[in-house]
Amino acid sequence: GHATGTYLGRVVVDRGAVGTDGEQSIRAMLLDRTATANARPELEIYADDVKCAHGCAVGELDAQGLFYLQSRGLPPAEAKKLMLQAFIAEAFVDAPEEEVLTQAALAALGGLL
């Protein structure tokens, strides 16, 4: 309810790392209006001819999405859980042990809801 998450991430592309293709994406989902998330992605590039990007998004569950799911017969708690499962599933795409990480995160989510 009153949690604060803080993330400071820095990606460094050293001299001579020509052709580097890097990306940093930070996304946070606030489950309560009293929770906060602070994120500061950084890029330090010391090489030419690189392709790098960074971004950040912090938000709440989409009220229209929740309404849509509820209008299709899902109880409010189930609609919220389904949307959070979709958010979590995206976090580990292409990660080593993607399935293990996803299942652990979903189990932790189950304990919160």
Q: What is the tens place of the pLDDT at every residue in 57-74?
A: 888 999 999 999 999 999
**For the residues of 13-64, what is the DSSP string, one character each?**
E-TT-TT-EEEEEEEEE-SSTT-EEEEEEEEEE-SSS-EEEEEEEEE---HH
Q: Where are the domains of the chain?
A: 1-60, 62-113
| Percent of the chain residues topping a pLDDT of 90 | 47
pLDDT at 88 exceeding the cut of 90: no
